[in-house]
Amino acid sequence: MTTSPRDQVRTVGIEEELLLLDPETRQVAPRSRAALKAHRDRAPGDDTLDQELFRHQVETRTEPVTVLDDALGQLCAARRSAGEAARAAGAAAVASGIVPFGPLEPQVSPDDRYRAMLEQFGDVARSGGTCGMHVHVGIESPEEGVAVIDRVAPWLPALLAISTNSPYAAGRDTGYASWRAQVWSRWPSAGTTEAFGSLAGYERACRDLLATGAARDEGMLYFDARLSREHPTVELRVFDVCTDPEDALLAAALARALVSWAADEHAAGAPVARPRAELLRAAHWRASRYGTTGRLVDPRGTEPLPAGEVLDSLVATVLPWLERAGDLERVQEGVARVLRASGATQQRAAYERAAHRAAPGEDRTLVGVRGVVDDLVGRSEQVWEHPGSGNG
């Protein structure tokens, strides 16, 4: 991914992990090999679709862009490719942070690294078949990237709240807006970090963590924000995958503006204002628990405030960078949208609609969660009809 000079709009790229579900049983469908073969037969040389840790997952990616409408077109096209490939394998490609009905005993993808991860990390790895979204934002140098990572941490829970899209797991409501975030935090290398202070500090922390065995390689350093191994970017990794692509673009727009703000703060010599790690963990917990429907920890204090106030504060903080990129209107509309109904809110609404139709004697919870899956399948496939989702 290319970088941008500081006075220009930075590049942004999006990676999404999608579930493969059986539309009849609503259970996971471990058919990624068949789906990927169908994709490669249909589009030789197209590498926008790839395997993930388990066979009930696939991954998509966009190329780096500066205009978010271009990212939206690429994202929808990639999801269409994933959906067509999944359908060829008798499955549906679904954008949800976690499997609502399972999973059953997961089947690992045919990759030596993945098998080794399962052997070393046991049930932590077996529960790792969640689906996140990763946003890459262009940086000028690794040194700038570490300075960005140190500054954006207090705002990352607000970004998680925007994307929350995984309230149901194992056939029931977990009580969380993002259960994916809780499951993902079981990895010993996942989550928030202390301030690194410098590139040398970042590299030293990575080496020390690898030496403990908490990660097998650099790819398993699952920090909430990290330097990309393959691209000159900072990679923000706190998000649930979003069913609505506009929610994904909202998250990407705010992520880019936040990185741009942090880089300019660093260039101006502003000090790093960073709460203790315990408070950051608490802030992530509140965002995972309540999403946009409750209170979030104020990044500039310790008091939980209504989610709308925290998001308004985030927009105000990065306003010049949103205006520079032409993203302000999209963000203002998007923030209002997720405050009305986030991904988690929409899943719960689908549950209530379906459960209300349960016949006498039917298991209301079972009927409701089936309705959640059906709604996710339908809304994920609606993305195919986006004007920018064609393959030609």
Specify if 207 maps to a domain: yes
Q: Is-contact 376 167, C-beta < 8 A?
A: no
User: In angstroms, what CA-CA distances link 202 with 191, 195, 209, 269, 333?
Assistant: 15, 9, 11, 19, 36
Backbone φ and ψ for 240, nearest 5 degrees, come out as -70, 150
Mean pLDDT, to the nearest integer, of 82-91?
93
Specify if 3 maps to a domain: no
Specify if 134 maps to a domain: yes
Residue 310 is predicted with a pLDDT of: 98
Residue 2 is predicted with a pLDDT of: 42
pTM for this prediction: 0.93
Residue 123 is predicted with a pLDDT of: 79
Mean pLDDT, to the nearest integer, of 7-14?
92
Specify if 248 maps to a domain: yes
Model confidence at 304, pLDDT cuts 50, 70, 90, reads very high
Specify if 7 maps to a domain: no
Count of Cβ atoms closer than 10 Å to residue 254 Cβ: 28
Please give the Cα distance from 336 to 243 (Å, whole number). 17
Give the torsion sign (CA, 18, 22, 26, 29).
negative
Q: Is-contact 311 253, C-beta < 8 A?
A: no
pLDDT tens string 153-180: 999 999 999 999 999 999 999 999 999 9
Specify if 2 maps to a domain: no
pLDDT tens string 233-267: 999 999 999 999 999 999 999 999 999 999 999 99
Q: Check whether 53 has a pLDDT greater than 80.
A: no
Please give the Cα distance from 244 to 376 (Å, whole number). 10
Give the torsion sign (CA, 248, 387, 373, 104).
negative
Length, in residues, of the chain: 392
Please give the Cα distance from 263 to 143 (Å, whole number). 10
Please give the Cα distance from 183 to 173 (Å, whole number). 14
Structure tokens, 241:
């995958």
Residue with tokens 């059906």: 374
Range of the structural domain that residue 93 is part of: 12-385
pLDDT tens string 364-388: 999 999 999 999 999 998 876 655 5
Q: Is-contact 1 136, C-beta < 8 A?
A: yes
Specify if 390 maps to a domain: no
Q: Is-contact 81 48, C-beta < 8 A?
A: yes
Residue 112 is predicted with a pLDDT of: 76
H runs (alpha helix) in 213-342: 245-267, 277-290, 307-317, 319-325, 328-340
Mean pLDDT, to the nearest integer, of 31-54?
83
Specify if 4 maps to a domain: no
Q: Is 305 left (phi over 0), alpha (psi -120 to 50) or beta?
A: beta
In sequence order, what are the beta bridge partners of 240? 132
Q: How many structural domains is the chain composed of?
A: 1
Q: Give yes or no for a cis peptide into 103 (omega within 30° of 0).
A: yes
Give the CATH number, domain containing residue 268. 3.30.590.20
